[in-house]
Amino acid sequence: MKQNYILVMCDDLGYGDVSFNGNKIIHTPYLDRLAKEGAVFKNFYSGAPVCSPTRGTCLTGRHHYRYTVTSANEGALPKEEITIAQMLKAQGYATGHFGKWHLGTLSKTIPDGRRGGAKNLKAYSPPWEHHIDECFSTEVAVPLYNPMENQPFVSKYWTAEDEYATENLEGDDSKIIMDRAIPFIEKNAEANTPFFAIIWFHAPHKPVVASPEHRSLYAQYPPLMQHYFGSITAMDEQVGRLNAKIKALGLEENTCIWFCSDNGPEGESVKDGGDGVGTTAGLRGRKRSLFNGGINVPACIKWPAYVEAGSTYSFLASTLDFLPTFFAHNAIEMPDSRPIDGANLLEHFVGAESKRLKPIPIRLAGHSKAKMAGSPTFGLINDDYKILCNFNEEHPENMMFNTFADKREEFNIAETHADIFEKYKAELWEMAQSFERSHLGEDYGVANYEPKFKFKSHDTTWHKME
């Protein structure tokens, strides 16, 4: 029997914002149950420290610099990219996307989202053009309660080209999303059709608004915390609803539910005088930073076919790994030789392998150095070391840390281990050049291919030096 796959992702949820990673305040009992029925990842990395790029890595298994989605609200996923949905659909799977898309605009007729919608047609790249059968998708973030009200940017829930939802849009946004995902699952269960469901919550991304009911659970805290904590608990309830439905439909034994966050928590922490209430559990940096607080995210997986309940995984894993793992499980081979940056984790799940054979590349540029918490803009993570650097002679900013022994990144050993650092920097440079070749169309086999967006140069660092 074919396995069903469900990718669940939060938006801006910090490593320390769930109780399975030690949070003592925020109630996440259903995520805890999912984790206990499966496994917790201790070293799971988002593909980038901001939203859009990570989402691209989830679907393609490829670093986001290969296909123009270089930062949040930048670029658009090209049709030429091969996705999980595309290849599973060819094997008879139903495919669905529910929640935040953020990989391109969704309308040719309405100015929707931050990329401009109808004002920016070159960024048009909706789910239904990427082999998604059914969707209920926004381009950008929306308020987490009554999502169609008080929006910072116009963003509708699109269901098809020129069609958007107008009903059942009141109340908690996570519930609104799950109200569409559950029927998709029920329909395909009844038809005995295997499915691939992408459920990407907006919580707890700004605008952070929780219901009075969920705020009341945290009445002893300031209003900002009430909303933040409440929105996470509201999302947690919907994860519980999903897990319960999978059990009720008799799908538990042949369904993979994989949960993570797209990056670290937003804003400067309250401890440091800011309004960011999300926590990294002591990891350095936050959203937009290549330090671990920006990319080492909460994650767990329930997959009875492979994962022993109650497990804890310490091996390196990433959102880049979804595609190669699902492809390996289905004996799917890529139709061409394009580079895949993720790794197949099947043998890691059963304990047959612990060392990662492919390093995890990381990259973000164009934000201020302060926003990036002082981190350089290129990086590579393997089982021995994490290196960070800039390919910019004026701003070398070399850093290297022990991957597991120094997760808080307190001891920069780039100078004392210069030979090792230079070895990995050279490896990263080769990868960077490969990114550029991919961006220019080398992987697609399309004559005279021209990317819609310019490549962000290797020497790009911060948009202003501080």
CB 14 within 8 A of CB 265: yes
Count other Cβ atoms within 10 Å, centred on residue 20.
18
Which DSSP letter does residue 73 get? Answer: T
CB 144 within 8 A of CB 208: yes
pLDDT at 338 over 80: yes
Report the DSSP beta bridge partners of residue 247: none
Residues 4-349: name the CATH superfamily.
Alkaline Phosphatase, subunit A (3.40.720.10)
Residue 274 has a pLDDT of 62
As given in the structure block, the two tokens for residue 30 are: 């259903």
Phi-psi region for residue 199, left (φ > 0), alpha (ψ -120 to 50) or beta? beta
Count other Cβ atoms within 10 Å, centred on residue 68.
24
End-to-end CA distance of the chain: 56
| Mean pLDDT value of segment 295-324 | 98
pLDDT at 107 over 70: yes
Decide whether 4-349 matches 360-439 in CATH topology.
no
Cα–Cα dist 113/115, whole Å: 6
Residue 112, classed as helix, strand or coil, is coil
Q: Domain ranges in the chain? A: 4-349, 360-439
How far, in Å, are 136, 174, 263 from residue 302 at the CA level? 24, 20, 21
Contacts of 207 (CB under 8 A, 6+ apart): 141, 142, 143, 144, 150, 151, 152
pLDDT at 272 over 70: no
Residue 466 has a pLDDT of 44
pLDDT tens digit sequence for 177-218? 999 999 999 999 999 999 999 999 999 999 999 999 999 999
Residue 464 has a pLDDT of 62
pLDDT tens digit sequence for 363-411? 999 999 999 999 999 999 999 999 999 999 999 999 999 999 999 999 9
Average pLDDT, the chain: 96
Cα–Cα dist 173/93, whole Å: 27
pLDDT at 273 over 70: no
Residue 119 has a pLDDT of 84
pLDDT at 347 over 70: yes
What percent of the chain stands above pLDDT 70? 98
Between 354 and 174, whose confidence is greater?
Answer: 174
Read off the pLDDT band of 153 (50, 70, 90).
Answer: confident
pLDDT at 238 over 80: yes
Ranges assigned E (strand) in 80-161: 94-100, 134-138, 158-160
Decide yes or no: CATH 3.40.50 for domain 360-439: no
What percent of the chain stands above pLDDT 90? 93
Cα–Cα dist 284/297, whole Å: 12
CB 43 within 8 A of CB 63: no
How far, in Å, are 35, 147, 183, 239 from residue 206 at the CA level? 26, 11, 28, 20
Residue 13 has a pLDDT of 98
Q: How many CA atoms lie within 13 A of 157 on its CB side?
A: 27
pLDDT at 465 over 90: no
Read off the pLDDT band of 463 (50, 70, 90).
Answer: confident
Burial class (CB in 10 A: 0-12, 13-18, 19+), 415: exposed
